Amino acid sequence: MSVREIPMYINGQPVPSQSQEWRDVINPATQEVVARVPFCTADEVERAISNAKEAFKEWRKVPLGKRMRIMLKLQALIRDNTAELAALITEEHGKTLPDAEGEVGRGLEVVEHACSITSLQLGELAENAANEVDVYTMHQPLGVGAGITAFNFPIMLPCFMFPLAIATGNTFVLKPSEQDPSSTMRLVELAHEAGIPPGVLNVVHGGPDVANQIADHQDIKALSFIGSTHVGSLLYNRAAAAGKRMQAMMGAKNHCVVMPDANRSQAINNLLGSAFGAAGQRCMANSVVVLVGEAREWLSDIVEAARAMKVGPGTQLDADLGPLVSPAARDRVLRLIDAGEKEGAKLMVDGRNVQVDGYPNGNFVGPTLFSDVTADMTIYREEIFGPVLCVVSVETLDEAIEFINANPNGNGTSIFTNSGWIARRFETDIDVGQIGINVPIPVPVAYFSFTGSRASKLGDLGPNGKQAIAFWTQTKTVTARWFEPENVSSGINSTISLG
C-alpha cells in the first residue's frame, strides 16, 4: 500500500517538496506508517515567505467585510467537516475521537471570533482634541506573520494563529508539527475553499532548521510559537535579534487545588479527566493535585477512580485515554515514572505495563498516580507530558498558594471549592496566568486571550482575544487639522463646495 506524501502549500496549491529528508508519520496505536512529511529545504521556505510577502501587497487592501465573509465560510466548513478532522487527529496523534472532536470545537471558537473582525479592528477617534484638531488611530496589518505549532493540538493551535492574523490583513506562513500534519493540512485546504486567496496562507514542514529560518527571516514581522520551554526560549531570542515581535506559549506544571468543602465526586471526576485526558499530552493538563486539609482523605477515592479508567486506541469510543504520540514520548514517560519511584514518591497506580487487546505495539501508558510527592523530585520539577498525576498534601490554603507560586511555571491552575471567599482569595494571590474555579482545564473562550506567566510565556501579548488583535497589527495615530482653503475657485479646490 502506498503511503501518502504530505505536500507544502504555496500560492494556493499543494506543492510536492524536493527535499531529500523525510519523516514517517506514525499511527501511535499501531505503529503503522500513515504518511511521510518532508523537512523542507531552505529554498522552499524562502519561496513560501516570498510568496506571502508578495500576496500581502493586495491582501492588506481587501475590505474588512470581505475578510469577515471568508471567516464565516471557514467556520461553516470546519463545522461540516468536524468528523473528518477529528479522525485525522486520532490517526496521527492518538487522542480519543471525542477528545479530538472537542479540539476541533475549540479551534472553531477562534475562527468564529475572527468573524467579528469588522468590529475587532476598529480604531478610536477624539474629535476636537484641540481646536479643530482630530486625533484617531488605525490598526493596520504588519506584513508576513508566521506560526510554529506543537503536536498536541494539530487543529486548535493553528487556529490560535492564522485566522486572526489573516483576518487583520496579514499573510501567513505556518509550520505545523511534523508528527501529525495531516489534519492541519486539511484545515488549510478548507481555508482556501472558504476563499483565502493564493499566497495569503502558505505551509512548510520541517524541524529546527526550518523553525530557525523562520525566526531569523527579516520578512517575517511577527511569530507565534506554542511548544516546549527550551525551543520557545531559543526561538524567542532569535526572533528578538531579528527585530520581530513574538509570542511564545511554553512549558507548564499545572496544579489543581482541592478544598475539603468541594463537591467530592465532581472534583475527582474533573481532576482525572484533566490529568489523563489526551494521555496527559496537554499543556493545560492539571498534572499535580494539591489536597488541602481534610481533602487528603479523598486520596483512596482518587486512586480507585484512576484505576477504573480505560486505555485503548483513539477509535475505541469507550476509551478514556489513548496512546502517547510516539515511542520516544512513551519511553520518556516511563523513565520519569522510574525516577519517581527511586526518589521516594509512593506509586499508588502504575500504568507502565498496561496491555491493550489487539494493539500490542501501541504507545500506551495507563493512568499513573504518585502520592507523597515533594517539590525536589524529578516528577514534580519536569513537565512529564503523559498520564502521570502527582499528589501533594498540605494543611492550609496558604500553603497551597505558596507551593504553587514557588513553581517556575505559571500556565494554568484550578481550585475546587464551594466557598466564594476561598475562590476569590485564590484568584487574587495566585501568580498564574489562567485560573479555573471548579473548572479543571482553564482554557478561556476564544474571545478572551490565552495567557500565562513566568516561565510559561514570553512576550507581552498572547493568542486569541483582544491581545491577538494587538499582536497582529500595528497602531498608527493620526493628528489632523484642516484649514479652510484660501481660494476655492481655482486649482485643486475648484471642485469643493462649501454649500
Look up cell 496505536; give the residue. Answer: 29
| C-alpha 114 chain-centroid distance | 16
Question: What's phi and psi for 325, nearest 5 deg?
Answer: -70, -25
Reduced to 3 states (helix: H, G, I; strand: E, B; else coil), residue 146 is: strand
Cell numbers standing for residue 35: 504518511
Question: What's phi and psi for 435, nearest 5 deg?
Answer: -125, 135
Look up cell 498572547; give the residue. Answer: 462
The answer to whether residue 293 scores a pLDDT higher than 90 is yes
For residue 286, which of 150, 103, 412 has the smallest C-alpha distance? Answer: 412
Q: Which of 159, 256, 283, 390 is catalytic?
A: 283
Question: What's phi and psi for 44, nearest 5 deg?
Answer: -70, -40
9 beta partners: 14, 203
The answer to whether residue 435 scores a pLDDT higher than 70 is yes
Using CA atoms, how far apart are residues 34 and 36, in angstroms rounded to an integer? 7
Mean pLDDT over 280-285 rounds to 93
Using CA atoms, how far apart are residues 427 and 475, in angstroms rounded to an integer? 32
Domain boundaries, the chain: 2-249+463-476, 253-435
* Amino acid letter, residue 304: E
* Interval 59-74: pLDDT, tens: 999 999 999 999 999 9
The answer to whether residue 489 scores a pLDDT higher than 60 is no
Mean pLDDT over 443-465 rounds to 91
pLDDT confidence band for 490 (50 / 70 / 90): low
Query: Exposed, middle or buried by CB within 10 Å (0-12, 13-18, 19+), for 262?
Result: buried
CATH number of 2-249+463-476: 3.40.605.10
* Interval 123-175: pLDDT, tens: 999 999 999 999 999 999 999 999 999 999 999 999 999 999 999 999 999 99
CATH fold group of domain 253-435? Aldehyde Dehydrogenase; Chain A, domain 2 (3.40.309)
Residue 365 and residue 336 in contact, taking contact as beta carbons nearer than 8 Å: no
- Please report the pLDDT score of residue 498 as a whole number: 42
Look up cell 495615530; give the residue. Answer: 477
The answer to whether residue 233 scores a pLDDT higher than 70 is yes
The answer to whether residue 497 scores a pLDDT higher than 50 is no
pLDDT confidence band for 492 (50 / 70 / 90): low
Using CA atoms, how far apart are residues 152 and 283, in angstroms rounded to an integer? 8
Residues 6+ apart with CB under 8 A from 46: 213
Percent of the chain surpassing pLDDT 90: 94
Which of left, alpha, beta for 26 (phi over 0: left; psi -120 to 50: alpha)?
Answer: beta
The answer to whether residue 54 scores a pLDDT higher than 90 is yes
Element (DSSP H or E) covering residue 9: strand 8-10
- Please report the pLDDT score of residue 488 as a whole number: 63
* Amino acid letter, residue 161: M
Answering whether pTM is above 0.85, one says: yes
* Interval 72-130: pLDDT, tens: 999 999 999 999 999 999 999 999 999 999 999 999 999 999 999 999 999 999 999 99
* Interval 305-326: pLDDT, tens: 999 999 999 999 999 999 999 9
Active site residue 283: yes
Which of left, alpha, beta for 28 (phi over 0: left; psi -120 to 50: alpha)?
Answer: alpha
